[in-house]
Amino acid sequence: MSDYRYLTFALGKGRLATKTMELFEEIGITCEEMKDKNSRKLIFVNEELKLRFFLSKGPDVPTYVEYGAADIGIVGRDTILEENRNVYEVLDLGYGKCRMCVCGPASARELLQHHERIRVASKYPNIARDYFYDKKHQTVDIIKLNGSVELGPLVELSDVIVDIVETGSTLKENGLEVLEEVCPLSARMIVNPVSMQMETERIKDLVNRLRGRLSS
């Protein structure tokens, strides 16, 4: 093990990182210093296994992986699709399951059927553009928001939104509904293409162990 170089993981901060470390622990990969909630450290190391972990904002994970600053990243499929970076997606981790949907008031359903030029608010402008332009062949105006996207139709900023739906309660509490499903989402493992070549055995072994654990 001492001859190995460090393998570096970028994890999307929050629930995803917690879930990921729980899963890693089940296959014998631990990182004790990461469990200290008061720590302000940014990089955590397991010297014995030659592994390093750092937490970043979700949308930055594919950036770190594309540039090789991290060999491996764990992030939602929504971020992978939106960022469209040059990385390999190697494993569906199964958790963080939700859906990317077009949502709005029931009255907006009709606007989606007649290819009208409508306004679409989203935190995911690239996913929204791909869906409307490439899949539906509908010309729309896309308005980028940074959160609380459900406000869009409520304050008449937009006709519909493209956003993540998990339990559906945010929509329900605001009188909105799913109008169309864009795609299913979950947490994925991504790998830098050069790391994949240089560290094939270690990465394959990790993916196989995780896959085994997930299917047991």
Interface with ligand PRP, residue 174, by CB under 6 A: no
The stretch near ligand PRP (CB under 6 A) out of 4-12, 43-51, 162-170, 185-193 is: 162-170
Give, in order, the Cα–Cα distances in Å from 21 to each of 5, 31, 36, 57, 119.
21, 8, 13, 16, 40
Q: What are phi and psi of 12, to 5 degrees?
A: -70, 120
Residues between 55 and 114 with contacts to ligand PRP, criterion CB under 6 A = none
Cα dihedral: 141, 143, 144, 147 (round 10): -130
Q: Choose one: 14-22, 54-62, 143-151, 190-198; the region binding ligand PRP (CB under 6 A).
A: 143-151
- Position among 165, 176, 185, 190 found at the interface with ligand PRP (CB under 6 A): 165
Type of residue at 64: Y
Query: Which listed range, 34-42, 52-60, 163-171, 196-204, lies at the site for ligand PRP (CB under 6 A)?
Result: 163-171
Which residue in 168, 174, 178, 180 binds ligand PRP (CB under 6 A)?
168
Binding residue (CB under 6 A) for ligand PRP from 55, 163, 189, 199: 163
Give the interface size with ligand PRP as a residue count (CB under 6 A).
Answer: 13
CA atoms lying within 13 Å on the CB side of residue 15: 6
Upper half-sphere CA count for residue 208 (Cβ side, 13 Å): 6
For 136, the token pair is 């539906």
Out of 2, 169, 215, 216, which residue is the one contacting ligand PRP (CB under 6 A)? 169
By CB under 6 A, name the one of 23, 164, 187, 189 that touches ligand PRP. Answer: 164
* Alpha carbon 27 to its chain's center: 22
Kindly list the residues in this chain that would bind ligand PRP in the complex (CB under 6 A). 123, 147-150, 163-170
